[in-house]
Structures are given as structure tokens and as C-alpha cells.
């Protein structure tokens, strides 16, 4: 009887320690946001990182992001043929794929000094450029795709006509 009692007490002690360990893990798993906002999982499909229930994560891994809807920006990849024309503070027009009828205004915030790593031989170099959205609407959401036009050249008072309207006459156009 004493052996059974000792075994039961040992099992109870192990179970109590395991329960305390699990409760501590649950307490450590609570994530408290520093402010109100929309939580976005920090998925990176290119690197095969998908945050979901049951996923294994490592220490210090980014799991969620809290985007500030009032300070949104677009990440743009600029081809090497245009990168020397792009400068901070240039005006941009942003057309969301989700809402193409309501273009947004933006401004170039940052142009990367170095290109993205090459993906394959012969691929053009691309530079990361951040465009800040000016007065973003409340309907804007993180992760939306967009087309961005950065205006790097403008000429005032220029008449634009269709090329078919231009003819040569007496060596003049």
C-alpha cells in the first residue's frame, strides 16, 4: 500500500508540475497589442513562412504586424533602367487593383541604394522604393496590389497631339 501511495503522489507531483509548465506557456503566449488596429499575420510565402494555428515558430520571430492605416505606403520595385530618375519627394499616382476608379496620391519616401538579389542569370536588377500614400481612405487595407506611376519628369504648357497628326512638309514637322 505504501508503494502505491508513493507512486500516486509521484504521479500527482509530475502532473502538477506539467500543469504549471503548460499554464506558464499559455501566459507567455499572450500577445498584447500596443495600440488598436488590424492584426496581420507576418507570412512570407517566398520563404515558406506561413503563420497559422499549430505552426512552429522560433524565438524572436515576427508573428504579427499592426499596420497603421493612417500611415500606409506601397513597396515598389523599380527597374534598373529608371532608377536614376527616381528621387525622394517625387509625386506618384497609385491605382489599387481593388479600386481602380479611385486613384490615390503618393510621394516617394525612400529609394534603395542597392538592388534586390538576382533571381536568375540575365534578370533585370530591381530596386526597392517606398511610396507613402497621402490621405489614405479608411477603406485601404494592407496587402492590396497596386499600380504606381512615379512622375519624374514634367514640362509645363506642352501641347500633346496624336503621332498620326504629325506630317513632314518642307523638311519641317
| pLDDT score, position 45 | 75
Q: What is the tens place of the pLDDT at every residue in 14-63?
A: 999 999 999 998 888 777 777 777 788 888 877 788 888 888 888 888 88
Low-confidence ranges of the chain (pLDDT < 50): none
C-alpha–C-alpha distance, residues 143 and 125, integer Å: 23
pLDDT at residue number 14: 95
pLDDT of res. 173: 78
Tell me what pLDDT residue 160 has: 82
pLDDT given at position 141: 84
Q: pTM above 0.85?
A: no
Neighbours of 25 (CB within 10 A): 9
Amino acid at each position: 500500500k505504501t508503494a502505491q501511495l508513493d507512486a500516486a503522489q509521484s504521479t500527482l507531483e509530475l502532473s502538477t508540475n506539467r500543469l504549471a509548465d503548460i499554464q506558464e506557456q499559455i501566459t507567455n503566449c499572450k500577445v498584447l497589442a500596443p495600440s488598436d488596429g488590424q492584426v496581420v499575420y507576418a507570412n512570407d510565402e517566398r520563404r515558406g513562412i506561413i503563420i497559422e494555428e499549430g505552426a512552429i515558430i522560433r524565438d524572436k520571430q515576427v508573428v504579427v504586424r499592426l499596420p497603421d492605416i493612417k500611415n500606409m505606403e506601397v513597396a515598389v520595385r523599380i527597374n534598373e533602367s529608371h532608377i536614376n530618375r527616381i528621387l525622394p519627394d517625387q509625386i506618384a499616382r497609385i491605382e489599387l487593383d481593388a479600386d481602380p476608379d479611385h486613384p490615390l496620391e503618393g510621394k516617394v519616401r525612400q529609394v534603395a541604394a542597392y538592388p534586390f538579389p538576382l533571381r536568375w542569370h540575365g534578370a533585370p536588377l530591381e530596386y526597392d522604393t517606398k511610396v507613402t500614400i497621402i490621405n489614405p481612405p479608411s477603406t485601404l487595407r494592407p496587402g492590396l496590389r497596386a499600380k504606381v506611376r512615379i512622375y519624374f519628369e514634367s514640362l509645363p504648357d506642352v501641347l500633346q497631339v496624336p503621332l498620326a497628326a504629325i506630317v513632314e512638309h518642307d523638311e519641317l514637322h
